[in-house]
Chains A and B, each alone.
Chain A
């Protein structure tokens, strides 16, 4: 640089003295401009950090902490004696975390082969979850077998983004025992999620769908745990913060005796009998067995039932999805004669000695009503009428009572209304009255119809549970207890949170009770009498009282006179048998309905006999032993 340049600059500088002073003056104000910005900025820091600091800290925490809920193991379901019917086992599920998978398509192609699953099915599950964040695992296949698990674990590197998750699932120690009563669980659906007021559930949770699993959902579900983990902005976990272990659900102890229930189901399975078996303690309402056959296969519901299996259940003509104990109503047949008998005695239209002559038919109006015994029973009184199930006798008692009186006693004995048992979709059945017919069919009641009703046919519809309730009431002296399935609910550490106590729903009046011994005598004769309709139910060593019944399915002339075995299955009559034992000191009532089982005595009676023998097994054995001992001593 030359001196000339500096001279020029100096010249400029000297010339500009005035301008320099002006600039310096202006520079004097510049710091104020700078500070004018500093203070609002400082104020903003104050606002964000001091005023709103707590709020932002909360936001920061919720930003970084991901809370995932841990599903609690569901409570167990045990029988009356503490035998485990339903517990849990680990299910190994294959899940995909899309965020971690580099080549989803490739991985799924390989996985489809390993899981023996159609690749489209796997893609469908991924697509279903397309709205969820990419770090959320999507279940591709539940409950994989050990060898598949081992293969996937050993070949992890081939399946990016694939993980195995363990979740507790139901395991059924007695197979399908009491399946319709216990029910099953499944993934929560949209509707159930919307109804969840407490906000307990989230998508994918398992929830009770049917039976006690549904009704006792709150007891069984337990408390969810929480897993808090610190995540980065992409959702990758950085570190685990804390774990709150889930609390297992409470255990539900049933009133049901698993062995008795098993016996009922096994015996019904012989010859594929469809129907229901109810065993109830007469003095409490405890249900010791409540079988409905054919039954559902609970294992099919684990991880969601396949469409094929579901369709098969829906289309099965024997309706395995229906719990026939409460959800199916049948004409009660001759078991209804208990109602007619009680009504007749209480209302005084008959007394215990009233003789009615049965010639095998009864002419009423311009119609002839037949007795099941073509040749007739001759002169019969109430006990014999019950024992031999004389239709003519009860036609006449019914006629004298009228349909409305019959209905009154039917209701008093527990028929025609829901029992309130802990089973869902219970049917009320139907006990017809004149009013009912007018309202329902807009027709007058014909007196002839009363005759059908009096012997349990016509419009009458009852559930097997109602018939059992009636039988128990007769046995226990006129008390109607609410039937119950749950004995108690206990916490996992054994503390009782709910305990069964007998609930008396209604009771017959003293006058009504007064006539019960006459009916009980009649029912005793049904089994124990020489000409009883259920002689084959007799058990050596104990007395049984009961009533047979046949519920007409259709009245088709074409099948008249045909051999019963030749009538197509679906047109055969339903068979009823209801009883209690021991007859002198009743403990349990047993009701059996066999759909299209033809006759009560032969169709349903043997099942009841099995139940009684099973229940009294020990006592009968002891008796046998003592008899053997005695004969041994005598011999």
Chain B
């Protein structure tokens, strides 16, 4: 039965919440500009995003009522549901741009691969926290987490959605390294990763995926094709200069030179309109939020809490880093959104649920597993 504890309110992480609201506010503000001028039909993206944000916020409030420890119990259930959704999508998914990634729920298109990221964090946190391996994991002990990661990884790769699949790899790698491995395991995993990358390049990557990597290495070779996005994004960011072109004044975005300007390239619009000063302010808050999240993990009351917080921060962190490097022309375009900033219901909901868990872990840092206050 849900029992309200006043200590929960006292230990509530207001700092994280304020940063979340600040970032989401700026993101919505930016989305308005990125989808400007408004199209005469349908709900504009910033409004849809606002609805998702409100939904996410409600989900956080709801989630805070439950002890994060219960995720140990629900963990495999979630895992099963997400894998089932990923399997379903291969057959009935809504196709867009040659990939099947969405399940239409009528009011919105659910992207199970987004949920899979959060699910993997919970699964791995739960798994690693149950094992007592203070001397470091051996390869054998890693078989289960590898399999647990590989299943959704392959299903997402089949959609095909290389970017999200790679994110699962990043989450697995971050969390696995975090729990400590034996030296031999580092060597074996490192070697296998290089080998897999080579094999994947030769046999697994689809031509368009290879093209993206090649284009990234030499974007000018294909200025009107795949290199276009990278070049236009760099132009958008660079033309922002010191203080930007001003709100709603960015030409790259408004004149449609910048593709996917409200999804993966939303931050390029921000950079164009607010310049270096605005970008640094935004990223300052963003990275502070991430550091703050890690700070939460340091104060978690148990290993599950630590791992969960760490995994969620890494989930946001890697997406943010890859998206930013992509916008800055330092990585190929792989289709990874900037969490909380890029337009997309599934991504926003997943990230907000993750932050809900962070808040949950932090507010229960002084609580016993049964809900008793220490």
- B235 touches A (CB below 8 Å): yes
Interface 1/0 per residue, A25-39 and B, CB below 8 Å = 011101100110110
B296-320 toward A: CB 8 Å interface, digit per residue (1/0)?
0110111110110110010001000
- Given the known interface contacts A24-B306, A35-B291, A63-B251, the answer about A1 and B328 at a Cβ–Cβ threshold of 8 Å is no
Residue of A3, A16, A28, A52 near B298 (CB, 8 A) is: A28
- Asked if B324 is at the interface of the complex by the 8 Å CB criterion, the answer is yes
A4–chain B nearest beta-carbon distance, Å: 11
> Are A27 and B238 in touch, CB under 8 angstroms?
no
A interface, by DSSP: helix, strand, loop or mixed?
A: helix
B287 touches A60 (CB 8 A): no
The one of B178, B238, B369 in contact with A52, judged by C-beta atoms closer than 8 angstroms, is B238
A157 at the interface (CB under 8 A from B): no
Closest residue on chain A to residue B280 by CB atoms: A42
Is B236 among interface residues, defined by CB-CB distance under 8 A? yes
With A26-B180, A27-B297 as known contacts, state yes or no: A34 contacts B287, CB within 8 Å. Answer: yes
Assembly CA distance A44 to B370 (angstroms): 48
Shortest beta-carbon distance from B117 to chain A in Å? 18
- When distances are taken between beta carbons in the complex, the residues of chain A under 8 Å from B303 are 13, 16, 19-20, 23
Within the complex, the shortest CB–CB distance from B189 to chain A, in Å, comes to: 17
A41 touches B241 (CB 8 A): no
Question: Max chain B CB contacts within 10 Å: which of A37, A54, A238?
Answer: A37
Q: How far is the CA of A231 from the CA of B279 in the complex (A)?
A: 27
**Closest chain A CB from B275 CB (angstroms):** 6
CB-defined contacts of B251 to chain A, threshold 8 Å: 60-61, 63-64, 230
Q: Assess whether A18 is interfacial by the CB under 8 Å rule.
A: yes
Which of B255, B304, B306, B317 is within 8 Å of A64, CB to CB?
Answer: B255
Q: Say whether B256 contacts A49, CB under 8 Å.
A: no
- Which residues of chain A have C-beta atoms less than 8 A from B236's C-beta? 60
- In whole angstroms, what is the CA distance A152 to B328 when docked? 50
Kindly report which residue of chain B lies nearest to residue A230, judged by CB atoms. Answer: B255
The answer to whether B291 and A34 have CB atoms under 8 Å apart is: yes
> Does A50 touch B at the CB level, under 8 Å?
yes
Q: Are A30 and B180 in contact (CB under 8 A)?
A: no
Segment 236-295 of B: residues with Cβ below 8 Å from A: 236-242, 251-252, 255-257, 271-272, 275-276, 279-280, 283, 287, 290-291, 294-295
Chain B residues whose CB sits within 8 angstroms of the CB of A27 once the complex forms = 178, 294, 297-298, 306, 309-310
A234–B178 alpha-carbon span in the complex (Å): 48
Residues of A within 8 A of B321 (CB): 37, 41
The one of B242, B256, B295 that contacts A50, using a Cβ cutoff of 8 Å: B242
Q: Which of B125-182 contact A (CB under 8 A)?
A: 129-130, 132-134, 178-180
The interface stretch among B10-18, B69-77, B344-352 is B69-77
In the complex, the answer to whether A57 meets B238 with C-beta atoms within 8 Å is yes
Is B328 in contact with A44, judged by CB distance below 8 angstroms? yes
Contact call A49/B238, Cβ cutoff below 8 A:
yes
* B39 CB → nearest A CB, Å: 13
Q: Scoring A residues 552 to 590 as 1 if CB is less than 8 Å from chain B, else 0, what string do you get?
A: 000000000000000000000000000000000000000
A37 to B291, CA, bound (A): 12
What's the nearest-Cβ distance from chain B to residue A480, in Å?
Answer: 63
CB-based contact A57/B298 at 8 Å? no
Question: Could you tell me if B302 and A20 are in contact, using CB atoms closer than 8 angstroms?
Answer: yes
Indicate whether B330 reaches chain A with its CB closer than 8 angstroms.
yes
Known: A49-B279, A60-B251. A5 touches B238 (CB 8 A): no
State the Cβ distance, A240 to closest chain B Cβ, in Å. Answer: 14
Choose among A50, A59, A238 the residue that contacts B255 (Cβ–Cβ < 8 A): A238
Asked if B364 is an interface residue, CB under 8 A from chain A, the answer is no
Does A45 sit at the interface, judged by CB under 8 A? yes
Whose C-beta in chain B lies nearest to the C-beta of A41?
Answer: B324
Q: Which residues of B contact A15 (CB under 8 A)?
A: 132
A6 at the interface (CB under 8 A from B): yes
Binary contact track B92-105/A, C-beta < 8 Å → 1, others 0: 00000000000000
Given the known interface contacts A19-B132, A45-B276, A230-B251, the answer about A63 and B257 at a Cβ–Cβ threshold of 8 Å is yes
Give the distance to chain B from A602, nearest Cβ to Cβ, in Å: 74
- Asked whether, in the complex, the Cβ of B255 is within 8 Å of the Cβ of A232, the reply is yes
**Any A CB within 8 A of the CB of B234:** yes
B340 vs chain A, min Cβ distance (A): 16
Q: Output the nearest chain A residue to B240 by Cβ-Cβ distance.
A: A49
The residues of A that contact B234 with a CB separation of less than 8 Å are 48, 56
B196 is an interface residue with CB less than 8 A from chain A: no
Q: Chain A 57-80 against B: per-residue CB contact (8 Å), 1 yes, 0 no?
A: 101110110000000000000000
Q: B179: which A residues are within 8 A, CB to CB? A: 23
Closest A residue to B231 by beta carbon equals A59
Question: Interface residue count for A (Cβ, 8 Å)?
Answer: 50
Once bound together, how far apart are the Cα atoms of A6 and B180, in whole Å? Answer: 26
Residues of chain B contacted by A46 (CB below 8 angstroms):
276
Q: Which residue of A lies closest to B244 (CB)?
A: A49
* Residue numbers in B under 8 Å from A113 (CB-CB): none
Nearest residue, chain A, Cβ from B228: A233
CA gap between A232 and B258 in the complex, in Å: 10
Contact of A59 among B235, B272, B287, B294 (CB under 8 A): B235
Q: How far is the CA of A90 from the CA of B251 in the complex (A)?
A: 36
B325: interface (CB < 8 Å): yes
In the complex, how many angstroms separate the beta carbon of B250 from the nearest chain A beta carbon? Answer: 9
Q: Do A48 and B328 have beta carbons less than 8 Å apart?
A: yes
Residue numbers in A under 8 Å from B180 (CB-CB): 22, 26
Of the candidates B232, B242, B255, B302, the one whose C-beta lies within 8 Å of that of A231 is B255
Q: Complex formed: what's the CA distance from A3 to B369 in Å?
A: 10
Q: A50-B242, A59-B235, A60-B236 are in contact. Are A1 and B73 (CB under 8 A)?
A: yes
Are A23 and B275 also in contact (CB < 8 A) when A18-B134, A35-B291, A53-B241 are?
Answer: no
> Do B290 and A16 touch across chains, with their CB atoms under 8 A apart?
no
Contact B324 A30 (CB under 8 A): no
Residues of B near A50 (CB, < 8 A) are 241-242, 276
Q: Which residues of B contact A44 (CB under 8 A)?
A: 328, 330
Are A42 and B130 touching (Cβ within 8 A)?
A: no
Cβ–Cβ contact B313 & A9, under 8 A = no
CA distance A57 to B129 in the complex (A): 51
Interchain CB contact (< 8 A) of A24 among B271, B298, B313, B330: B298
B226 to chain A, nearest CB (A): 15
Is residue A270 contacting chain B, with contact meaning CB distance below 8 A? no
Contact with B along A94-137 (1 / 0, CB 8 A): 00000000000000000000000000000000000000000000
Docked Cα-Cα span, A390 to B242, in Å, equals 95
Known: A1-B73, A49-B276. A59 touches B239 (CB 8 A): yes
- Asked, given contacts A34-B291, A60-B251, whether A26 binds B283 with beta carbons under 8 Å apart, the answer is no
Of the candidates B275, B287, B304, which one forms a contact with A49 in the assembled complex, judged by CB atoms under 8 Å apart? B275
Q: In the complex, which residues of chain B have a beta carbon less than 8 angstroms from the beta carbon of A52? A: 238
Query: Chain B residues near A31 (CB, 8 Å)?
Result: 291, 294-295
Q: Which residues on B sit within 8 Å (CB–CB) of A231?
A: 255
Beta-carbon contact of B241 and A45 below 8 Å = no
Shortest Cβ distance from B153 into chain A, in angstroms?
23
Q: Which 9 A-B pairs have the closest CB atoms?
A: A56-B238, A53-B241, A60-B239, A49-B276, A233-B256, A48-B238, A57-B239, A232-B255, A56-B239
A-B contact pairs, 18 of them (CB 8 A): A6-B370, A10-B368, A12-B130, A19-B132, A19-B133, A19-B134, A27-B294, A35-B291, A38-B287, A50-B276, A53-B276, A55-B238, A60-B236, A60-B252, A60-B272, A63-B251, A64-B252, A234-B256
Beyond A12-B130, A64-B251, list 18 extra A-B contacts (CB 8 Å).
A6-B369, A9-B304, A15-B132, A23-B179, A24-B297, A27-B309, A31-B294, A41-B325, A44-B328, A44-B330, A45-B283, A48-B238, A48-B328, A53-B239, A56-B234, A57-B238, A60-B235, A230-B251
- B residues bordering A, Cβ < 8 Å? 69-70, 72-73, 129-130, 132-134, 178-180, 232, 234-242, 251-252, 255-257, 271-272, 275-276, 279-280, 283, 287, 290-291, 294-295, 297-298, 300-304, 306-307, 309-310, 313, 317, 321, 324-325, 328, 330, 368-370
A interface residue numbers (CB < 8 A to B): 1, 3, 5-6, 9-10, 12-13, 15-16, 18-20, 22-24, 26-28, 30-31, 34-35, 37-38, 41-42, 44-46, 48-50, 52-57, 59-61, 63-64, 230-234, 238
